[in-house]
């Protein structure tokens, strides 16, 4: 029963095999018998949880698990109150309305690593940062939510899953969570909420994809 936290780099498949020779998790995690607990899209970065224990994988990745996931999104345009209000109320996507999110404008993080390759800027359109915490895991949900309120996502970094944060993990690095901590967090009815989204941050089974 082991659980690890990985900072998945940009353009890495969220799985241990690659059918088309793209980079995948085995390049960074030289362990056997581990599986991702939820997904993180190829073009997104940040925190993934991996485990060799099926019940923990299910606890994290199943719909309705109650495990909140926190993201920092660099978006095109200025984050304003109407967009934040819409995200907090829940927005309607083509597969139905989302649950209310915790959404805040965020300063540009001074700790974040440069992306390779960098995002494409348009001189006439400013970019800004948004912190968003959701409890669902629909396909590309965060990107679709920001687009629905007029803020297309340019870069998406997952910085938190439940109480676990990405602080101290460089892209491609991982650390193991002590077993006692993992058991306490993943015990039934004891998944902890992060409260407010941070202003700066600290083949897979399951539906969590962003």
Catalytic positions are: 41
Output the CA–CA distances (angstroms, integers) from residue 67 to 40, 62, 91, 95, 100, in the order listed.
Answer: 15, 9, 20, 21, 14
Residues 6+ apart with CB under 8 A from 21: none
Question: Residue 107 burial (CB < 10 Å; 0-12/13-18/19+)?
Answer: exposed
Measured over the CA atoms of residue 136, residue 137, residue 138 and residue 142, the dihedral's sign is: positive
Q: Write down the residue that tokens 């949900």 correspond to.
A: 141
């Amino acid at each position: 029963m082991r659980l690890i936290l990985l900072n998945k780099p940009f353009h890495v498949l969220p799985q241990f095999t690659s059918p088309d020779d793209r980079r995948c998790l085995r390049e960074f995690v030289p362990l056997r018998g581990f599986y991702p607990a939820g997904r993180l899209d190829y073009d997104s970065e940040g925190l993934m949880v991996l485990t060799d224990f099926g019940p923990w994988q299910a606890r994290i990745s199943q719909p309705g698990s109650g495990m909140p996931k926190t993201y920092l999104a660099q978006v095109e345009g200025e984050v304003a109150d109407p967009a934040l209000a819409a995200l907090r109320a829940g927005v309607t996507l083509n597969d139905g309305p989302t649950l209310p999110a915790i959404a805040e404008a965020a300063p540009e993080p001074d700790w974040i690593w440069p992306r390779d390759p960098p995002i494409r800027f348009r001189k006439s359109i400013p970019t800004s940062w948004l912190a968003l915490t959701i409890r669902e895991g629909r396909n590309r949900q965060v990107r679709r939510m920001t687009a629905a309120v007029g803020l297309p996502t340019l870069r998406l970094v997952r910085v938190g899953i439940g109480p676990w944060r990405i602080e101290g993990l460089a892209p491609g690095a991982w650390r193991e969570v002590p077993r006692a901590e993992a058991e306490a967090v993943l015990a039934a009815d004891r998944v902890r909420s992060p409260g407010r989204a941070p202003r700066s941050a600290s083949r897979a089974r399951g539906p969590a994809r962003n």
